[in-house]
């Protein structure tokens, strides 16, 4: 992947926002990859969780937004409990999701969910999903 790194992105508001919402220090990550090694959803991700935090460190918001990763993450917290640097990556993922959601952008269109699916799913699937994937 080709990336252009500049001081502009490195010191951008984006990086500060991610750190503020997630309450994590992004440079703590030293790219060991343990998070991605254990991520149960990584088979479906465009970019791996460790690549996402690397992009976040560098302030490359567009590359993160283009990838499906943060919307595939299931908030299972496996990465967070295993990170040798104590980075709570699940919280970084959440901060990245919120930066988009707070612009009122939804990942699921609730009116489009078929009636049968709504009847089948338990409440916690819907409440949980709407809270993580919609504004």
Residues that bind ligand SF4 (CB under 6 A): 29-35, 39-41, 49-50, 53, 73-79, 83, 85, 87, 89-90, 93
Pick 4 or 119: Cβ nearer other proteins: 119
Q: How far is the CB of 6 from ligand SF4 (least distance, A)?
A: 22
Q: Which does 32 bind (CB under 5 to 8 A by kind): other proteins, ligand SF4, none?
A: ligand SF4
Cβ contact 35:79 at 8 Å? yes
Cβ contact 65:18 at 8 Å? no
CA distance 67 to 63: 7
Q: Which does 91 bind (CB under 5 to 8 A by kind): ligand SF4, other proteins, none?
A: other proteins
Q: Please give the span between the terminal C-alpha atoms of the chain, in angstroms, as a whole number.
A: 30
């Amino acid at each position: 992947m080709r990336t252009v790194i500049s001081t502009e992105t490195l010191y951008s508001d984006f990086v500060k926002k991610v750190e503020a919402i997630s309450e994590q220090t992004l440079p703590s990550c030293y790219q060991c990859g343990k998070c991605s090694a254990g991520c149960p959803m990584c088979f479906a991700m465009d970019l791996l969780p460790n690549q996402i935090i690397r992009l976040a460190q560098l302030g490359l918001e567009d590359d993160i937004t283009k990838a499906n990763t943060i919307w595939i993450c299931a908030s299972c917290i496996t990465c967070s409990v295993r990170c040798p640097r104590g980075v709570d990556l699940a919280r970084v993922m959440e901060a990245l999701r919120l930066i988009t959601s707070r612009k009122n952008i939804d990942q699921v269109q609730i009116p489009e969910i078929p009636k049968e699916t709504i009847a089948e799913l338990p409440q916690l699937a819907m409440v949980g999903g709407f809270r993580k994937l919609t504004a």
